[in-house]
Amino acid sequence: MNKVQLYDTTLRDGTQREGVSLSVADKLKIAEKLDEIGVSYIEGGWPGSNPKDIEFFRRAADLEFKNARLCAFSSTSKPGISAAEDSSLQAVVETGTRTVTIFGKSWDFHVHDALKTTLDENLAMIKETVLYLKSLGREVIFDAEHFFDGYKGNPEYALLTIETASEGGADAVVLCDTNGGLMPWELSPILEVVSDRVKSPLGIHAHDDAGMATANSLLAVREGITQVHGTINGYGERCGNANLCTIAPNLQLKMGLQVITPDQLQGLTRLSRFVAEVVNIAPPDQQPYVGFNAFAHKGGIHIDAVNKKPATYEHASPELVGNQRRILVSELGGQSSISIKTNQNNYHLEKGKPETAAVLQRIKEMEHYGYQFEGAEGSFELLVLKMMKAYQPLFHLEGFRMIIEKRENGHLYSEATIKVRVGEMQVHTAAEGNGPVNALDNALRKALEEIYPALKQMKLSDFKVRVIDGVDGTGAQVRVLIETCDDTMTWGTVGVSPNIIEASWIALVDSLEYGLLCRKLPELDEAKKILDQLKQGNV
């Protein structure tokens, strides 16, 4: 089998997902990361459709790609217009990209009802467009839009469209499951026919409306297809495109096909999260290989076994894709989870020791109350330190007061007044915010930042509220999860209370204390000494 090429369309097809809008600067940053990871092609956009993509290609011309070829995207010429006169095609030509991807209709239903033209004219448009771009010295990739639906409706005509593109000189013919409804058992018989009729290298472009995009893409490779289209994190219109973050490691680790280098594969998790950050969409925790929970273990039997032999409950090593194993602390994990988790953090609570049993018992009590430490490792570590009497609070709350006022203009006004004590020093201050929790956060930071300047580097990056038991209506217990980050790390903390402000306060205090502890500030010398003793097993 020839080398399988990864073709990324995050910058074009991926942006058709609801809620995704990339600036030119965003697209340039993602393009550079895609090149680093080793994809063969980067589809940059459709310059004939909007000024943003024209600007992207103009600025991308200054980038030096080491692994990927940048592609401009367009349709075939329009009915009644020659390829040389079609404005959309001219916009593609003007980008100067070495590779051009053109889509054309392969479903007779679309030819009649969308293009409003004849089947013969559609074939002529395909051939003329490919010939024209080849005459300009471009590499041409032909996307046969709706190919599989077209084949099921009129197989001979669908085959004619891709034969025509191939005869025109297309360097690759890509079969598109545009509506995403193809089943894997339908794929193989169709590919067998196509491979007999078309001599150009073949590709697959699958959408995930039936949840089959990854399966169809992998099966297509087994059947001889050598170019796989997809997006990072599966972004795309409706249910999304085939997910290259799943496809790439499956090709490499399960099928033995090296599509990128092992070092590049190790950057996959980082790439997934980088793109998610740029598009401002939290990636699914359950995403295979690169998800936050992909190698997370919660059950006690699982944890104990994984600690002995990771292969007992892991189908691949997380390090291969740049992810990491996570041991989740809960009442289901038993003492193994406490022991392994603390060892991961360089302090030791051995299974079978009274201290370990005490920590586990406390976690069970807190989880019964509503706490959850799976996404709150900061709170977990502080809990262990406090139970080992190895940590003193960085400040003491003497009181806070909230004012929430709805004014005549309709805007809500929130103000927090807070009084804290650090050693013998008392700080009394107030701050506003766009909500009560934000006001409280601002007031606490204002009170402490002069004493602990490192707080200025920390920011709240996520805030989640969960009603634990709704039977009490508005008086129900709530759990607040806060995610905080600085320039080096991200950590989670948790608070639980029937009062959402108190739950938020608990999580907020943990987030700031843990962040300061991790920075090992001079102000924390005494706590650091105790922590170092604990790590050495002397406490």
Tell me which residue of 25, 13, 258, 321 sits closest to 143, measured CA to CA. 13
Which range among 178-182, 185-189, 214-218, 457-461 shows the weakest confidence by mean pLDDT? 457-461
DSSP string for 58-72: HHHTT---SS-EEEE
pLDDT tens for each residue of 47-81: 988 899 999 999 999 999 999 999 999 999 999 99
Within a domain: residue 522? yes
Entry field: residues in the chain: 539
* Domain edge (last residue) among 202, 233, 260: 260
Percent of the chain at pLDDT above 70?
88
Angstrom distances, CA of residue 135 to CA of 77, 83, 138, 170: 15, 11, 7, 11
Which tokens belong to 160? 């004619």
Most confident of 298-307, 337-346, 482-491, 493-502: 493-502
Query: What pLDDT, on a 0 to 100 scale, did the predictor assign at position 469?
Result: 65
CATH of the domain at 57: 3.20.20.70
Within a domain: residue 185? yes
Within a domain: residue 371? no
Residue 122: pLDDT band with limits 50, 70, 90: very high
Query: What pLDDT, on a 0 to 100 scale, did the predictor assign at position 94?
Result: 96
Strands (DSSP E) found in 222-318: 227-230, 296-297
Within a domain: residue 199? yes
CATH of the domain at 456: 3.30.160.270
Within a domain: residue 11? yes
* Domain edge (last residue) among 236, 260, 284: 260
pLDDT tens for each residue of 293-347: 888 887 777 777 877 888 888 899 999 999 988 776 544 444 444 444 444 444 5
Within a domain: residue 492? yes
Q: Is the pTM of this model over 0.75?
A: no
Element (H, E) at 417: strand 412-422
Q: Which residues of 270-297 are buried (b: 16+ CB within 10 A; e: fewer)?
A: bbbbbbbebbeeebbeebbbbbbbbbbb
Average pLDDT along the chain: 87
- Given a cut of 70, is residue 158 above it in pLDDT? yes
User: Rounded to an integer, what distance in angstroms lies between the CA atom of residue 254 and that of residue 261?
Assistant: 15
Within a domain: residue 300? no
User: Rounded to an integer, what distance in angstroms lies between the CA atom of residue 73 and that of residue 413?
Assistant: 49
Is the alpha carbon torsion for 469, 471, 472, 473 positive or negative?
Answer: positive
* Domain edge (last residue) among 207, 232, 260: 260
Within a domain: residue 460? yes
Which range among 93-97, 234-238, 426-430, 477-481 shows the weakest confidence by mean pLDDT? 477-481
User: 3-state secondary structure string, 169-193?
Assistant: CCCEEEEEECCCCCCHHHHHHHHHH
pLDDT tens for each residue of 207-254: 999 999 999 999 999 999 999 999 999 999 999 999 999 999 999 999
Q: Kindly give the interhelix angle for 119-135 and 87-95, rounded to the nearest 10 degrees.
A: 30
My answer on whether 204 and 58 are in the same domain is yes
* Strand 296-297, strand 227-230: pairing: unpaired
Number of CB atoms found within 10 A of residue 45's CB: 28
Residue 379: pLDDT band with limits 50, 70, 90: confident
Q: How many domains does the chain have?
A: 2
Q: For residue 250, what are the domain limits?
A: 5-260
For residues 386-394, average pLDDT: 77
User: Rounded to an integer, what distance in angstroms lies between the CA atom of residue 236 and that of residue 298?
Assistant: 32
Query: What pLDDT, on a 0 to 100 scale, did the predictor assign at position 344?
Result: 43
